Amino acid sequence: MPEQALARSFESIGDDYDRYRPGFPDEAATLIVPAAVDAALDLGAGTGKFTRLLVARARRTYAVEPSERMLDVLRSTLPGVEALVGTAERIPLVDASVQVVTVAQAFHWFDRGPACAEISRVLVPGGTLGLLWNRADPECAWDRDCHHIAHPAAADASTDSADEELPGFEPVLRTQIRWTEPISRELYLRRWTTVSSVLIADESTRTRMLGDMETVLDESEQTRERDLFDLPHITEIYVYCRA
């Protein structure tokens, strides 16, 4: 599947993305921004899933996102955030204007070299870059099986989307947080309809994918005949300092 098509697949689902996608643990924001800063930027902010954790940690918070549909949702829930249309390769902020840049669930879509140069440009010297992703817990067999259905080509590949080294940055911390989300069967299945590979699939393929996922839930001892169950997550966190 073309990367651009996958990346653009989210542009029309702002409300559903915000409603069904998981958030992030507060501890993740604390690791990236341990003390209050003057200004922070959430880059590739989407509907503000991580942006909302920055608001209490920065006196001024920016959100940059290419999708107006996503930003409309963010503006409605976070009116105090300055939401701007832009991309990681062309950030609409002046030089050295923020102390922290965060990228939640989006860095793998960026053109890494130009994006790192732009992030470095808007950060103050010594500023912080924090990258994070929610991952499936490999110990949860039923969720892992659903991931295999949605992403068959990548099911056994490494999911790391950042390197220890990024141009213009020095690595400071790499860690993970394990946490659990209570979730209904309906919400869990609807969440999959907001995933890029399912979004761009044709109708018959999408129907087959979701049917196969229902079968997984019907057969697992942890989810069988249950309307509510616990979904474990792993949040991977990479923290860098602008060189």
- Condensed to tens digits (0 to 9), the pLDDT of residues 189-204 reads 999 998 888 988 999 9
Please give the pLDDT value at position 137.
95
E strand or H helix that includes residue 234: strand 228-242
pLDDT digits (tens, 9 = 90+) for 83-106: 999 999 999 999 999 999 999 999
Identify the segments of the chain with pLDDT beneath 70.
Answer: 1-14, 154-164
Do 14 and 7 touch, CB atoms closer than 8 A?
Answer: no
E strand or H helix that includes residue 8: helix 3-8
| Global pTM value | 0.87
Please give the pLDDT value at position 7.
45
Q: What is the DSSP string of 31-78?
A: HH--S-EEEEEEET-TTTTTHHHHGGGEEEEEEEES-HHHHHHHHHH-
Please give the pLDDT value at position 12.
52
Residue type, 22: P
Separation CA 54–CA 57 (nearest Å): 5
Please give the pLDDT value at position 181.
96
